[in-house]
A and B are shown apart, each in its own frame.
Chain A
Amino acid sequence: MVTVTIAVIQFGGSNCDRDSVRALETLGFDAELVWHEDGLPDDVDGIMLPGGFSYGDYLRAGAMAARSPIMEEVREAAADGTPVLGVCNGAQIGCESSLTPGVFTTNESARFQCEHVHLRVENADTPWTRHYEEGDVVELPIAHGEGRYEITDERLDELEAEDRIIFKYCDAEGNVTPEANPNGSKHAVAGVTGDSDHVAVMMPHPERASLDDLGRTDGKPVLQGFAD
């Protein structure tokens, strides 16, 4: 098997970095932690922005990390076709750095929420979702205080029309309802792609549902997207 190297970027306050490495290694990837000040290695085949509380969520979640020098390199790599996945704080960083549209901001509840949620696969034709079928319901954990997807109605309609929404919060049967939306996200958006679908961000944690020992493994297919 060809070795696929994934850089997991560590910022001060990242805390899902090692979980991400372990999940990626379990799936057969060569995952390496990259401290943001060290810059992006030349030979990476994929980039993961992990969860956490980079820079203490100062100003806005992800705002500081998004403007760090390594994110310039990440944007360039993404533009050159390198797959990039942002999860949780990584999703907030992705949106703050314009890799992906919109913003993840304070939950409707104004509280930190740590729970399992159901997601409906909205577009199964991206690297991150092609091992699912459209309409599949997957269960993943969330752990965030700022996960409410916010964007103008016009822009969101465009994203819907362009099939850029990859996951929506739903109930166990796959119905997208207000009750099944944990944080008040517009259109129940849980994950969205960038201008190209090899760049995506999502608030739920696939890496926390990828190890057989921990029970559910619904998140594996998302991480397998790095292999495509």
Chain B
Amino acid sequence: MTAFTATVTVRLKRGVLDPEAETTQRQLERLGFDLDDLRSADRFEIDLDADGADEAAERAEEMAERLLANPTIHDYDVEVAERE
């Protein structure tokens, strides 16, 4: 078994309104920053032991499917790295 950290990033699908991101963008603009767009995302870092990176990714994907993301409005991706 190897120790991995699977990072699951959950973001709204393109086209789905994100009022919090819009509010954040407006506030940045109010502070004088110049930006075209701002998107927010949730990131989950999951420490787990697995036989290999593929298995670690598979388990993290299942976690995203079952709970972390809602497929109606979210896309997600999974990155796996060995943990020291």
Contact = CB atoms under 8 A, between A and B. Distances in A.
Interface of A: 59-60, 63, 67, 95-96, 101-103, 105-110, 148, 150-152, 184
18 contacts: A59-B67, A67-B66, A67-B67, A96-B70, A101-B72, A102-B72, A103-B70, A106-B18, A106-B19, A107-B19, A108-B17, A110-B19, A110-B22, A110-B23, A148-B19, A150-B17, A150-B72, A151-B72
B70 to A, nearest CB: 6
Given A60-B70, A150-B73, 8 more contacts: A59-B67, A101-B72, A103-B72, A105-B73, A109-B19, A110-B22, A110-B23, A150-B72
A175 to B, nearest CB: 23
Nearest to A109: B19
A109 to B, nearest CB: 7
B72 A63 contact: no
A203 to B, nearest CB: 16
B16 interface: yes
Contacts of A152: 72
A102 B70 CA distance: 10
B23 A148 contact: no
B51 interface: no
B20 interface: yes
Interface string B12-45: 0000111110110000000000000000000000
B68 interface: yes
A152 B17 CA distance: 12
Given A150-B73, A152-B72, A63 B17 contact: no
